[in-house]
Structure 1
Amino acid sequence: MIHARSVSRRLLMACVVACAGALAACASMEPPAGIPPVKAFDVSRYEGRWYELARLDHSFERGMTDVSATYQRQPDGSVRVVNRGFVAAKNTWKEAVGKALFTGDEQTASLKVSFFGPFYGGYHVAALDPDYQWSVVVGPDRRYAWILARTPQLPADVQKQIVAKMQSLGIDTQALIWVSHSRTDPKP
């Protein structure tokens, strides 16, 4: 005779294993197929403040302007990530603090970042200016992409080259949202 408690435990364990597998598949740390991360990456040169010039639309940034990301290397090898942006509908600044970890060697610009405890998402630098003045970042797939720069604006010819690079990677550049930077962030 099979006990109901034993069946319940087995069913619960099967559900836990299935959910864990589904979460692992959804939260891939690998870059999208055909988009290799930058090699010879120097995190010390990447540190500091970057302005978000363009992004693909996602609910966690919807309606935000004046978005920036600041990266700071920590003694344990992780990277502190502070994302800030202005939410016009609420007339307030919003900030999220996270932690990034390299997924392999530190010379490959492939990291995983978390803003919510144990849940990580892929963060891959797919293109990078030799002087670390702009970068193209992608997430776990081509629906997540950003153009970051050290300044709130780039020359039109440079911006055009970056967009062409993104197109060559299969990113829908027609869907890019160009971010305005007109406010002074009270937290530099």
Structure 2
Amino acid sequence: MAIRLLRFALVVLAGFLAIGFAHSAENLDPKTAGNIDLKRYQGTWYELARLPMHFQRDCARSEARYLLKDDGNVAVTNRCQNHDGEWQEAKGTASPQVEGKTDKLWVVFDNWFSRLLPWVGKGDYWVLYVDDHYKTAVVGNPNRKYLWLLSRTPSVPEWVKQEMLSKARQQGYDTSRLIWREADLKAARNQ
């Protein structure tokens, strides 16, 4: 009887440990690309796809322009077309979360919300992947609510899309919910 009870206790304990390890693996932060050469990263990036997010709900044809500043921060200009075809623009600044590390940035946009609550208005911008030629990038945040697939061109071959999707999935992002550039263009034209 005591041996049975001991076996049962060991099985239950092993089950709890397995559940705990599985749960903790889901909560690990995504792995970033390592230090990014911000000189090479600067320039225009086109959004190929993104996860749905409130602040981009009326956006189509999104693109971002990054310009390295003398102080090591990055000037950010995001723009997109609204459903009327008019371009909207948001400007901000990206700065390293840790001095000397360029793969995890804070981004603060110059708007009333950021001025009102500066500690709330800053967002995580983690570069999860950038290809060797700085032509494509996968960017997200640690809680996996935000994800962008970026390219130097408005479209890429299917194999490049698949490679980027694979990188995002490996980091635990739900790519089934992505809004693709082609889809947001169609939605903008239909409204």
Q: Is structure 2 residue 41 aligned with structure 1 residue 46?
A: yes
Q: Is structure 2 residue 133 aligned with structure 1 residue 114?
A: no
Structure 2 residue aligned with 1:171: 173
Instruction: Please say if residues 33 and 103 of structure 2, whose CA atoms lie closer than 8 Å, have aligned partners that are also in contact.
Output: yes
SS of the residue 1:100 aligns to: strand
Q: Distance in 2 between matches of 1:40 and 1:114?
A: 20
Cα deviation per residue 1:90-128 (whole Å; 9 max; x = unaligned)? Answer: 331110001110011444411000112322111000011
Extract unaligned runs of 5+ from structure 1. Answer: 1-31, 183-188
Q: Distance in 2 between matches of 1:102 and 1:113?
A: 9
Structure 2 residue aligned with 1:145: 147
Q: Distance in 2 between matches of 1:176 and 1:139?
A: 15
Q: Which structure has the bigger radius of gyration?
A: 2
Distance 1:106 1:154, change over 3 A: farther
Structure 2 residue aligned with 1:126: 128
Instruction: Please say if residues 31 and 171 of structure 2, whose CA atoms lie closer than 8 Å, have aligned partners that are also in contact.
Output: no
Extract unaligned runs of 5+ from structure 2. Answer: 1-26, 186-191
Q: Distance in 2 between matches of 1:120 and 1:179?
A: 25
Structure 1 residue aligned with 2:163: 161
Q: Distance in 2 between matches of 1:40 and 1:140?
A: 17
Distance 1:106 1:38, change over 3 A: farther
- Which residue among 65, 71, 93 is the counterpart of 1:99? 93
Q: Distance in 2 between matches of 1:54 and 1:138?
A: 12
Q: How far 1:34 sits from its partner (Å)?
A: 3.5
Q: Distance in 2 between matches of 1:174 and 1:39?
A: 26
Give the letter aligned to residue 111 of structure 1.
Answer: L
Q: Distance in 2 between matches of 1:168 and 1:147?
A: 14
Cα deviation per residue 1:114-169 (whole Å; 9 max; x = unaligned)? Answer: 11232211100001111100000012411100001000011101111111111111
Greater per-residue helix proportion = 2
TM (norm. structure 2) is 0.74
Greater shift in the superposed pair: 45-54 or 55-64: 55-64
Q: Distance in 1 between matches of 2:130 and 2:165?
A: 13
Aligned length: 150
